[in-house]
Amino acid sequence: MEGYPLHFYRERWYTSPVGAKGVAVTSLDLPQGTLDLLILRTLLPGAQHGWAISERVQQVSGNMLRIQQGSLYPALHRLERRGWVKAKWGASENNRKAKYYELTRSGHKQLEAETDSWRKLTSAVAMVLESD
């Protein structure tokens, strides 16, 4: 297996016990690119506006991952600059103007590559953690 560099940086992500109310929220250090990977995966079924992306990640993670607006929109703009997502204006469910993001062909390829790298990385880390 090829070696994969592991870079950590602080993203504005938070964890909290499922269903907890009034519990202090702590920040996590996540491998670089994690936010991009999760956004790309969330857009796989189709176009969504920023708030819906954030809500979907939170829902699918069982309320364990929350994307703060201060991290979400810069990430979406970065993905757009890289050509992995494209955006267009439309009306949201409550009839407000919203920017909808969808994967491009290049974004689909990037999602496949990043998913493969993530699976290899987590498999390697699991092997180390489970070793004697």
- What does each C-alpha distance from 60 to 3, 32, 78, 103 come to in angstroms? 30, 21, 23, 19
pLDDT for the residue numbered 33: 83
CATH 3.90.1300.10 fits 9-129, yes or no: no
pLDDT for the residue numbered 45: 97
Is the model's pTM score more than 0.95? no
pLDDT for the residue numbered 30: 65
Q: How far apart are CA 60 and CA 52, in angstroms?
A: 12
Per domain, the residue ranges of the chain are 9-129
99 and 88 Cβ atoms separated by less than 8 Å: yes
Residue pLDDT tens, the chain, 132 long = 444 444 444 444 444 444 443 333 445 566 778 999 999 999 999 999 999 999 999 999 888 888 888 889 999 999 999 999 999 999 888 889 999 999 999 999 999 999 999 999 999 999 999 998
